[in-house]
Amino acid sequence: MSITEEHVSTASRPSALRITDLRVANLDGVPFRSSIIRIETNQGLVGYGEVRDQASATYALMLKSRLVGENPCDVDKIFRKIKQFGHHGRQGGGVSGVEMALMDLAGKAYGVPAYALVGGRFRDTVRCYADTPSTTDPHEMGKRLLARRELGFTMLKMDVGVSLLWDVPDALIAPPGARDETAVMHPFTGIQVTPKGVEHLAEYVATVRSIVGNDIAIAADHFGHIALDSCIRIGRALEPFTLAWIEDLIPWQYTEQWRELTSSVAVPTCTGEDIYLLEGFKPLLDAGAVRVIHPDPATSGGIAETKRIGDYAQDRGIAMALHLAASPIATMACVHLAAATENFLALEHHAVDVPFWSELVTDLPRPLIEDGFITVPDVPGLGFGDINEELFQRLLDPRDPVFFAESAHWDAERSHDRLWS
């Protein structure tokens, strides 16, 4: 070691850093089923990421043979190598979770927070919005949301849709079996919401607003698998309640229908949680088909790719919120992304009712969310010290109850990956 190096605190030797292992621990109840990625290196640095909620850990494990031997600081190089193995929906979770872990490692190697790797920060705190379990009783729904508000959240979300209408006489027209059919895309279900159904939804939201107040942002989701005309009627009926947005009324693939809906209602429209990579978002953004884009970084490609999505949306005058249902690991990845993205609105939080949620990682404030905000950490990587191994062990998915199981059987997984001849 040189005299100069004796006086410099180095987190590692980044140029000599190499990936040596990738393992996964499957948890349940954080708030949903979740797979945590751990990437190990030759210098003892460890990076963590998270596969999208309720996705298969296989999407990450099959990437291991493409990662071992690589320098995790070469985040963009590795991402370009593996991004072909992701796809829309839960299938993007493996690539996205690995990218989070690479950003964690690169930040630790260079001694900087992850947000510094994507351009620095625009804000010191990140606003969270609280999702809330649904109920058919609007008075009870109002009380649940009010309890979130009293915790300090300045933005809330609830479900408003056909789930509230199935037992209301004359509210729906639907073919037999439609209530239990979830695999048919919205335009093809044959479900229509009647004027009585639309009125019932408007009255539901009016009751909730009367309890929670008119001076707090409330978004609405889970409208059900209904076609465009019903969506437009519902959107127009909800205009008086100044909702933050109405979400996922139509499958994201139908750009023209989204543009028609957006131009027909005076309520912000929002979609994007199942879209993978910027190229998947471009049709909606180029068409101005939504008012708010809503990627889930555990689906969309991780931190840097979702930053590109946000920047592309900003150039078109469209705000970006972040969908998420995850442990503090993916949450902290989102915090760094949100800090670095100028047109960011709010980050989804599903775990208000999970009392141990903040304890899943160490060296962060407990509770992690205070008055509806998370403070952006200045420490390297994603910003937490380590995982809480004892708590992890208690939360292991009973279907795969091994703590970061040995994964050597994935080391030899090979194929000819090149996409050109």
Instruction: Please write the tens of the pLDDT for every residue from 318-331.
Output: 999 999 999 999 99
pLDDT in tens, 88-109: 999 999 999 999 999 999 999 9
pLDDT reading at 380 higher than 80? yes
Average pLDDT, integer, range 226-248: 98
pLDDT reading at 10 higher than 70? no
Which of 336, 307, 299, 296 has the alpha carbon at shortest distance from 94?
Answer: 299
Residue 11: pLDDT band with limits 50, 70, 90: low
Gap between the Cα atoms of 103 and 332, Å rounded:
11
Which of 341, 297, 291, 302 has the alpha carbon at shortest distance from 323?
Answer: 297
Average pLDDT, integer, range 22-26: 97
Could you give the 3-state DSSP secondary structure of residue 324?
A: coil
Structural domains of the chain, with CATH: 3-112+387-410 (3.30.390.10), 117-375 (3.20.20.120)
DSSP secondary structure, 246-263, as one string: EE-SS-TT-HHHHHHHHH
224 touches 191 (CB < 8 A): yes
108 touches 171 (CB < 8 A): no
pLDDT reading at 5 higher than 80? no
Which of 127, 325, 326, 344 has the alpha carbon at shortest distance from 217?
Answer: 127
The alpha-helical segments, DSSP class H, found in 319-394 are: 328-339, 389-394
Q: What is the pTM of this model?
A: 0.96
**List of residues 6+ apart from 93 with CB closer than 8 A:** 35, 51, 52, 55, 56, 59, 60, 86, 298, 299
Pick the range with the lowest mean pLDDT from 1-15, 244-258, 370-384: 1-15
pLDDT in tens, 56-73: 999 999 999 999 999 999
Average pLDDT, integer, range 38-66: 96
Give the per-residue pLDDT at 2: 52
Residue 298: pLDDT band with limits 50, 70, 90: very high
pLDDT reading at 7 higher than 80? no
pLDDT in tens, 130-178: 999 999 999 999 999 999 999 999 999 999 999 999 999 999 999 999 9
Residue 275: pLDDT band with limits 50, 70, 90: very high
Average pLDDT, integer, range 406-419: 91
Average pLDDT, integer, range 200-228: 98
